A and B are shown apart, each in its own frame.
Chain A
Amino acid sequence: MSKYMVNLKINNIPISVEEGTTILDAAKRLNFHIPTLCNHPDLSVAGNCRVCVVEVKGARLLAASCATPVSEGMEVFTNSEKVRIARKHVVELLLSEHNADCTKCFKNGHCELQELASEYRYGDHIFIDLVPFKQKFLDISSPSITKDTSKCIRCQRCVRTCAELQAVSALAVVHKGSHQTISTFMDKPMNDVVCTNCGQCINRCPTGALYERNYIEDVWNAIYDPNKFVVVQTAPATRVAVGEDLGLEPGHRVTGKMVAALKKMGFNKILDTDFTADLTIMEEGTELLTRLKKALVDKDETVKLPMMTSCSPGWIKFQEHMFPDLLPNLSTCKSPQQMFGSLAKTYYADKINIKAENMVVVSIMPCTAKKFECNRPEMRDSGFKDVDYVLTTRELAMMIKQAGIEFDKLEDQHYDSILGESTGAAVIFGATGGVMEAALRTAYEIVTGSEVPFANLNIKPVRGMEGVKEASIKIKNAKPEWSFLEGVEMNVAVAHGLANAKKLMEAVSSGTANYHFIEIMGCPGGCIGGGGQPIPTSPEIRRKRAEAIYAEDMGMDIRKSHENPEVVEVYKDYLGHPCGHQSHELLHTHYVERKRY
Chain B
Amino acid sequence: MEQKHLKRVDLIFEWDEKNPPIQVLDETLQKTPDAIILEMIDSGLKGRGGAGFPTGLKWKFTRNEDSDIKYVICNADEGEPGTFKDREILDRVPEKIFTGMAICGYVIGAKEGYIYLRAEYNFLLKSLQQKLDKFNQQLKDRQIEFTIFLRSGSGAYVCGEESALFESMEGKRGEPRNKPPYPTVAGYNSKPTVINNVETLVYTCEICRMGADKFKALGTSDSRGSKVFSVSGDTTKPGIYELELGMPLKDFIDEFGDDDAKAVQVGGASGHCVPRKKFNDTIIGFEGIPTGGSMMIFNSSRSMYNVLHDYLEFFTEESCGQCTPCRVGCQQLLKGIEAVKKGERPPSYLEDLKKLTLTMKIAAKCGLGQSVANPFISIVDNFKEEIIY
Q: A50-B324, A68-B178 are in contact. Are A178 and B363 (CB under 8 A)?
A: no
A285 to chain B, nearest CB (A): 45
| Of B352, B355, B362, the contact of A61 (CB 8 Å cutoff) | B362
Contacts of B322 in A (CB 8 A): 46, 48, 154, 156, 173, 180
**A/B interface sample: 22 pairs, CB < 8 A:** A45-B178, A47-B365, A48-B324, A49-B323, A50-B325, A50-B365, A61-B362, A62-B362, A67-B178, A69-B180, A86-B362, A89-B325, A89-B355, A89-B359, A94-B328, A153-B324, A177-B315, A178-B317, A178-B319, A180-B320, A180-B321, A180-B327
> In the complex, A61 Cα to B358 Cα: how many Å?
11
A93 to B355, CA, bound (A): 13
Surface stretch bound by B, among A124-132, A193-201, A319-327, A348-356: A124-132
Measured in the bound complex, the distance between the Cα atoms of B328 and A176 in whole Å is 12
Is B318 an interface residue when CB atoms closer than 8 A count as contact? yes
Query: Whole-angstrom distance between the alpha carbons of A126 and B365 in the complex?
Result: 23
Whether A68 contacts B317 by the Cβ 8 Å rule is no
Q: Say whether A175 faces chain B, with CB atoms less than 8 Å apart.
A: yes
Given A176-B158, A177-B318: A154 and B178 interface contact (C-beta under 8 Å): no
Decide: B332 and A96 in contact? CB cutoff 8 A. Answer: yes
Nearest A residue to B314 via CB reads A177
Of residues 130 to 185 in B, which have CB atoms within 8 Å of A's CB atoms?
156, 158, 173, 175, 178, 180
Q: A50 to B323, Cβ gap below 8 A?
A: yes
Interface residues of B in 328-350 (CB under 8 A from A): 328-332, 335-336, 339, 345
Does B356 have its Cβ within 8 Å of any Cβ on chain A?
yes
Q: Which residues of chain B in 353-389 are interfacial with respect to chain A, using CB atoms and an 8 Å cutoff?
A: 355-356, 359, 362-365, 370
Contact of B359 among A48, A90, A130 (CB under 8 A): A90
> 13 new A-B pairs (CB below 8 Å) besides A93-B329, A133-B331?
A62-B362, A68-B180, A85-B355, A89-B363, A93-B324, A93-B328, A93-B332, A97-B328, A130-B332, A133-B335, A173-B321, A175-B321, A176-B321
**Across the interface, do B359 and A173 meet the contact criterion of CB distance under 8 Å?**
no
Checking B158, B180, B327 against A178 with a beta-carbon cut-off of 8 angstroms, the contacting residue is B327
Which residues of A lie under 8 Å from residue B328 when comparing CB positions? 93-94, 96-97, 130
Which of A46, A61, A68, A128 has the most chain B CB atoms inside 10 A of its CB? A128
Contact A130 B178 (CB under 8 A): no
Tell me if A259 is interfacial: C-beta within 8 Å of chain B. no
Please report which residues of chain A, range 82-112, place their CB below 8 angstroms from some CB of chain B when the two chains form the complex: 82, 85-86, 89-90, 93-94, 96-97
The chain A residue with its CB closest to the CB of B356 is A89
Task: Give the distance to chain B from A181, nearest Cβ to Cβ, in Å.
Answer: 8
From A49, A126, A177, give the contact of B330 (CB < 8 A).
A177
B316 interface residue, CB < 8 Å from A? yes
In the complex, residue of chain B having the shortest beta-carbon distance to the beta carbon of A45: B178
Tell me if A299 is interfacial: C-beta within 8 Å of chain B: no
CA distance A69 to B328 in the complex (A): 27
For residue A97, which residues in chain B have a CB less than 8 angstroms away from its CB?
327-328, 331
Binary CB contact string for chain A from 51 to 62 against chain B (1 if under 8 A, 0 otherwise): 101000000111
A180 partner residues in chain B, CB cutoff 8 A: 319-322, 327
Nearest CB of B to A83, in Å:
9
A64 interface residue, CB < 8 Å from B? yes
Which A residues between 151 and 168 are near B, CB-CB below 8 angstroms? 153-154, 156
Q: How far is the CA of A311 from the CA of B364 in the complex (A)?
A: 45
Q: Which residue of B lies closest to A97 (CB)?
A: B328
Task: Report yes or no: B335 in contact with A128, Cβ–Cβ below 8 A.
Answer: yes
Within the complex, the shortest CB–CB distance from A131 to chain B, in Å, comes to 11
Q: Which residues of B contact A (CB under 8 A)?
A: 156, 158, 173, 175, 178, 180, 315-325, 327-332, 335-336, 339, 345, 352, 355-356, 359, 362-365, 370
List residues of chain B with CB within 8 A of the CB of A96.
328, 332
* Chain B residues near A47 (CB-CB < 8 A): 178, 323, 365
Find chain B residues with CB under 8 A from A175 CB. Answer: 321
Chain B residues lying within 8 Å of A51, measured Cβ to Cβ, are 324
Taking a contact as CB atoms closer than 8 A, the residue among B320, B325, B352 that contacts A90 in the complex is B325
Residue from A62, A89, A128, A154 within 8 A of B327 (CB atoms) = A154
Return A126 CB to nearest CB of chain B, in Å. 6
Whole-angstrom distance between the alpha carbons of A61 and B331 in the complex? Answer: 22
**B323 A62 Cβ-Cβ under 8 A:** no
Point out which of A60, A86, A156, A173 has the most chain B C-beta atoms below 10 A from its C-beta: A86
Q: What bracket does the count of chain A residues touching chain B fall in?
A: 35 or more
* Distance A180 CA – B331 CA, assembled complex (angstroms): 12
Residues of chain A within 8 A (CB-CB) of B315 are 177
Query: What's the minimum C-beta distance from A85 to chain B, rounded to whole angstroms?
Result: 6
Known: A85-B359, A128-B336. A178 touches B325 (CB 8 A): no
A82 with B332: CB separation less than 8 A: no
From residue B160, how far is it (CB to closest CB) to chain A in Å?
14
Q: Which 8 A-B pairs have the closest CB atoms?
A: A180-B321, A93-B328, A67-B178, A89-B359, A47-B178, A48-B322, A86-B363, A177-B319
CB within 8 A of B363: which of A45, A62, A130, A154?
A62
B315, B352, B356: residue with the most chain A Cβ atoms closer than 10 Å: B356
Least CB distance, B373 to chain A, in whole angstroms: 12
Q: How far is the CB of B59 from chain A (nearest CB, A)?
A: 23
A127: which B residues are within 8 A, CB to CB?
332, 336, 356
Within 8 A of B (CB), among A15-58: 45-51, 53
CB neighbours (8 Å) of A179 from chain B are 321
Bound Cα distance A178, B326 (Å): 10
Q: Which residues of A contact B331 (CB under 8 A)?
A: 97, 130, 133, 178
Question: Contact check: which of B173, B332, B345 meets A173 at CB < 8 Å?
Answer: B173
Question: Quick check: B321 and A177 within 8 Å, CB to CB?
Answer: yes
Tell me the nearest residue of chain A to B318, going by C-beta.
A177
Q: Decide yes or no: A177 and B359 within 8 Å by CB, A61-B370, A93-B329 being known contacts.
A: no
User: Nearest CB to that of B325 among chain A residues?
Assistant: A50
CB B248 to nearest CB in A, in angstroms, measures: 26
Name which of A68, A94, A128, A177 has the most chain B CB atoms within 10 A of its CB.
A177
Contact status B317-A176, CB under 8 Å: yes
Contact A130 B335, beta carbon cutoff 8 Å: yes
| Smallest CB separation, B377 vs chain A (Å) | 15
Closest Cβ–Cβ distance, residue B277 to chain A (whole Å): 28
Chain A residues near B332: list those with CB within 8 A. 93, 96, 127-128, 130
Residue of B nearest to A98 (CB): B328
Complex CA–CA separation, A50 to B366 (angstroms): 12
A128: chain B residues within 8 A (beta carbon): 332, 335-336, 339, 345
Partner of A86, one of B156, B321, B359, B370: B359
Nearest CB in chain A: distance from B50 CB, A: 15
Contact B363 A90 (CB under 8 A): yes
| Distance in Å: Cβ of B159 to nearest Cβ of chain A | 10
Q: Which residues of A sit under 8 angstroms from B325, Cβ to Cβ?
A: 50, 86, 89-90, 93
Contacts of A61 in B (CB 8 A): 362-363, 370
Measured CB to CB, the nearest residue on chain A to B363 is: A86
Q: Which residue of B lies closest to A64 (CB)?
A: B178
Whether B363 pairs with A176 at a CB distance below 8 angstroms is no
Interchain CA distance A463-B211 in the complex, whole Å = 68
Partner of A94, one of B158, B324, B352, B355: B324
Q: How far is the CB of A33 from chain B (nearest CB, A)?
A: 19
Instruction: Please measure, in the bound complex, the distance between the C-alpha atom of A357 and the C-alpha atom of B153, giving whole angstroms.
Output: 61
Q: Which residues of A sit under 8 angstroms from B321, Cβ to Cβ?
A: 154, 173, 175-180
